[in-house]
Structure 1
């Protein structure tokens, strides 16, 4: 709960200040570059730190008869405002040892002055300074809350710099760079806040003025080189030395401005006339300004520039993390009191929720009473038969933020009926605590009197889809509930959309509600039969998948039109020459097997689409049979028969076997498989392949039938051939 509070605080502060922080960080980068550029001119003389003011003033008076002032800036460049022996005005950088002019004074460009004003006050004067001050303080709070989140994530301060689990780029960059630039960003925030408080005079204190009586006789005169104050003042400590307007006038003084004080000095004998001590706030202001701008040190200026640039990326990655964590929308049709399958997810960045939601949506589509909740939402589920727990591990082996209360609730809300449980852990084997929290949950559930294990603890390394599908096969086999096994369904990666042009479309009729759609991509796309086409009918995040039949650069879809169907109605409304935006999802686990000695293709309904492309592309003449099941004989099935006859003549297909479930002598695909039992048993036993595409129920029935035949004839289960990769499926 504490982690959630800090996370929401961190996010809320970032949202409130993000626009201003973005502006400040970009202008900060520009000003840091300017601070570095200031160091480039070679105006700093060697060994300047060894010179005192008496030496420099004496040397300069030999060259310049009249000196108005000399100054030393933050770069330790010495400048002079004087008149030379020829009566010419001299303003520029000099060598304080010889008085030699090194170059003209550098003035800020109009652009840098504009950026500085924008950075300090947004051109809004006092109002702008208040806004900038508040944003600086918010940056301080964001940094503090970020530190606390990292400490929580790493399980203590001593693990602060331990290895970070890399879930995805934005999350990894946000944490790693946060640790790296923690101190510079904290300094920027604190100094920015302090400068704001000083400049609106909240912390202002008056100067302390001390006047000294002249203890030396007025007729006593000393050379400047013998002034003790000048001898004891290093040139690098000087800000400005203003010279008397008229020499030998006792009422004209040297005005010496140092970092911490201002001295008024008798020009005749060097005695101290008056001293103005700056308050601590003024010294702290100068120190804060030096730290905030980096103008005193080129390395620090570069670090501040990188830190400012990093704030820009912080904003981007922070919102990317938030978007990833919240983009998966949960839709529950059933209440906790009604659900029979309860899926609980524990996640830190949303990845685990994505997998859980893909399963949840399929279960709902299959008519199952599924409920998807965060682990902290655990309670009594009076009708639950199955409990699925999908969880990642946070930090160094602990619960993610939405699972922190799970153990307490599990112990205080026992189920009143027997429930079968399965635990699926997500993590990375690069870390010693791989799926540690999932193991802990599995152990906790095992100890519950009401819970019985359905499957062993299963772990998924680095979101490996194949490992996830392995669990799907196990769970489906135990429950007889078929789930999609196409890896592309569980791939969260979204590639760019491509424009497709409609080339041809068939029509539906009273006896045939299936239509074909031929599409041509606008550009060259690498794809093959068995890949998936994702469409977006409402141009939002909702997508629908269709298996691709591919030939000669064209995509062929076979689609069943459902009344008010979200995807099918959209596709059926398309006319030739119209276009749609879609993306191809590569589905390598359902590509036609290379170097296969024989292949059987089994489909029902629209699942025949990829097989039409595979048959057409069978230039290697691999022995190929196509088994397909439909409800009725109609013009569409007649088209398939004509297609098969042509492909048989070309040698691409050995034979076509059709089953019709709503005609006389009704048959299903399973009946054809039983009839040709020896063919299928020998096919698998000799290393051949079977590809299944269509409805999940068909997949379940076909696999059940094959399992019976294999046990009867060779004493092996279908699992053996699945593990060998001889049975490929793409069912929904």
Structure 2
């Protein structure tokens, strides 16, 4: 809860100030570059600041008979306004050792002046200055709240610079550079705020004027006369303290003084005796303003100006990556069709950056599409689920083994809110093996569930490293096999950067009849699109978030779908209502785990019903003539199935297919595809032993029955379980 408050505060402050921060940061970058350029060419003479005025002034008088002013700016450049021996006016930067002119005085470019005005007041005068000050203060609060979030993420100062888990680039960049740029950004914000307060005279002080009694002008004139080289006060003032000297207009006139302006005071010095006539001590806010200005602008140091420029760039990057993080967290919209009291499958997620929620939502959408009463919620929303028979928990681990912010109360709720019925559970953990506490919170949740009398393990704890989809797929397959609820196993379905929609033109579509409820659709992409047999074709029949997937068969270079028409089927009805020449928006999604194994010595294809779709393309494209054995199950041998028979005969004549066997469950003698497999059990045992591959496509119920039968065959003939061959990728499935 505390973490959420800090996060919302951080976000709210950023939202409020973002537009102005963009302006201030962008102009800050420009002004930082200007500050660097301002130091080039370098008219600052090395070690000149160690000279005192008693050394500098006589040196200059040797070159310039008449000097009006001598100045030193914030860059350490010394400039003079004088007249040389030939009566020529001289204005420029000089070498204080010998008075040599080394450069012309330059003014800021109009662009830098314009940028400075925009940076300071947004061209709104005092109103703009107030806005800039408020935004600067908000930046202080943003930095502090960001620091708190990093400390909570890294578990304190001890681990402040420990490795950061990379969920995605924007999150990683935001945290890592946030740590590095924190101090410069804080300094920019604090000094900017303080400069405004000083200019508003909220810390106003008064100058202290000290009159020094040194006698009247006659006494000064009659007293000992000293040259500037012998003035004690000049000897005590190093050049680095100087801002400017106004030289006496009339030499040897006791009423004309040197007016020496230093960083903290101003002195009037008698030009004859070298005595101080008047000292004005500036209030502290004067030097504080100059000091804050130097730090805020980097005008005194090139390295610091570069640091400030990088920090300003980082502010722009923080704004961008911060909004990316926010959008990523909020992009996944939970659409619950059922209430928690009615749900049979409950999915609880723990997600810090939205990635785990994305995966949970993908599973939820597919369960709803399959007709399952599914409910998705954060782990902190755990409660009583009276009709639930399964609870799926997907959670990441935050920081060093802690719960994500929306799962922090879960373990406490788990103990205080028991379920009245037995519920099967499965825990899926997301993390990174780069950290010692890999999936630590998922492990803790799994252990807590094991101790509850009502919780029964449905699937063993499964972990996914760095959001690797290939590590997620085995869990999806295991869940589908056990629950008979279809979950897609194509990596593209779970890609956080979804495949773009493409336009597809309908080339051919067959019709259904009283004796046949299956139809074929052939399409081609309007623009070039790569796909192959075994990939998935995703359609959006409701023109919304609801996806429907169909296995692709690539035949004759065209995309072919085999679809069974369901009376209330959203996807099948949409496809059935298409007409030739219609153009639809859909996408072909790569499903590499169900591509034809090109290196396999031999392949057995097992399917029922519309599961034949990808195999039609694989057989037709078997140009290498890999031995293929086809086993299929249908209800009846009708005209539709006879098309497949003719296709198989044709492919056998091309040596694309060794043989085929079809079983018909609704006509005599009432065989199933398992009967065909049992009859040829030695073929299957030898095929696997020789390194061959078995591919299964069709219903989940059929898949489960076939796998059970194959397991028995493998144990009897090869003394190995089917799982041995599964681990060697010799069993490939895509079932629904």
1:717 Cα deviation from its structure 2 partner: 4.2
TM-score w.r.t. the length of structure 2 is 0.91
Partner of 2:286: 282
Say whether residues 1:687 and 2:688 are aligned partners.
Answer: no
Which string of whole-angstrom CA distances, capped at 9 and with x for unpartnered residues, describes residues 545-573 of structure 1?
44333366544444456678665566667
Which string of whole-angstrom CA distances, capped at 9 and with x for unpartnered residues, describes residues 98-139 of structure 1?
221111112211111121111111111111111111111111
Q: For residue 386 of structure 2, give the secondary structure of its aligned residue in structure 1.
A: coil
Q: How do 1:570-609 and structure 2 match up within 5 A?
A: 583-609=587-613
Q: For residue 693 of structure 1, give the secondary structure of its aligned residue in structure 2.
A: strand
Q: How do 1:128-527 and structure 2 match up within 5 A?
A: 128-215=128-215, 217-219=219-221, 220=223, 221-477=225-481, 479-484=482-487, 486-488=489-491, 491-494=494-497, 497=500, 499-502=502-505, 504-510=507-513, 511-512=516-517, 514-520=519-525, 522-523=527-528, 527=531
- Do 1:341 and 1:368's aligned partners in 2 also have CA atoms closer than 8 Å? yes
- Judged with a 3 Å threshold, the aligned counterparts in structure 2 of structure 1 residues 402 and 282 are, in CA distance, closer, same or farther, namely same
1:466 Cα deviation from its structure 2 partner: 2.9
Tell me, in whole angstroms, the C-alpha distance in 1 between the residues paired with 2:316 and 2:192.
17
Tell me, in whole angstroms, the C-alpha distance in 1 between the residues paired with 2:143 and 2:272.
56
Q: After superposing the two structures, state which structure 1 stretch, 636-645 or 454-463, moved more.
A: 636-645
Unaligned runs of 5+ in 1: none
Unaligned runs of 5+ in 2: none
Tell me, in whole angstroms, the C-alpha distance in 2 between the residues paired with 1:240 and 1:146.
44
Q: How do 1:600-619 and structure 2 match up within 5 A?
A: 600-619=604-623
Q: After superposing the two structures, state which structure 1 stretch, 576-585 or 62-71, moved more.
A: 576-585
Tell me, in whole angstroms, the C-alpha distance in 2 between the residues paired with 1:333 and 1:35.
60
Q: For residue 401 of structure 2, give the secondary structure of its aligned residue in structure 1.
A: coil
Say whether residues 1:42 and 2:45 are aligned partners.
Answer: no
1:583 Cα deviation from its structure 2 partner: 4.8
Q: 1:648 aligns with which of 646, 652, 656?
A: 652
| Root-mean-square deviation over aligned CA pairs | 2.9
- Do 1:321 and 1:349's aligned partners in 2 also have CA atoms closer than 8 Å? yes
- Do 2:54 and 2:234's aligned partners in 1 also have CA atoms closer than 8 Å? yes
Tell me, in whole angstroms, the C-alpha distance in 2 between the residues paired with 1:116 and 1:580.
54
Tell me, in whole angstroms, the C-alpha distance in 2 between the residues paired with 1:629 and 1:530.
19
Partner of 2:85: 85
Q: For residue 520 of structure 2, give the secondary structure of its aligned residue in structure 1.
A: strand
Partner of 2:63: 63
TM-score w.r.t. the length of structure 1 is 0.92
Which string of whole-angstrom CA distances, capped at 9 and with x for unpartnered residues, describes residues 67-105 of structure 1?
222211222111122233333332221111222111111
- Do 1:498 and 1:521's aligned partners in 2 also have CA atoms closer than 8 Å? no
Tell me, in whole angstroms, the C-alpha distance in 2 between the residues paired with 1:381 and 1:439.
23
Q: After superposing the two structures, state which structure 1 stretch, 27-36 or 719-728, moved more.
A: 719-728
Tell me, in whole angstroms, the C-alpha distance in 2 between the residues paired with 1:445 and 1:526.
45
1:574 Cα deviation from its structure 2 partner: 6.7
- Judged with a 3 Å threshold, the aligned counterparts in structure 2 of structure 1 residues 78 and 456 are, in CA distance, closer, same or farther, namely same
- Do 1:207 and 1:279's aligned partners in 2 also have CA atoms closer than 8 Å? yes
Q: After superposing the two structures, state which structure 1 stretch, 360-369 or 542-551, moved more.
A: 542-551
- Do 2:490 and 2:536's aligned partners in 1 also have CA atoms closer than 8 Å? no
Q: For residue 74 of structure 1, give the secondary structure of its aligned residue in structure 2.
A: coil
Partner of 2:117: 117
Which string of whole-angstrom CA distances, capped at 9 and with x for unpartnered residues, describes residues 241-289 of structure 1?
2223343444433322222222233333333233332222222221111
- Judged with a 3 Å threshold, the aligned counterparts in structure 2 of structure 1 residues 457 and 503 are, in CA distance, closer, same or farther, namely closer
- Do 2:685 and 2:717's aligned partners in 1 also have CA atoms closer than 8 Å? yes
Tell me, in whole angstroms, the C-alpha distance in 1 between the residues paired with 2:449 and 2:434.
26
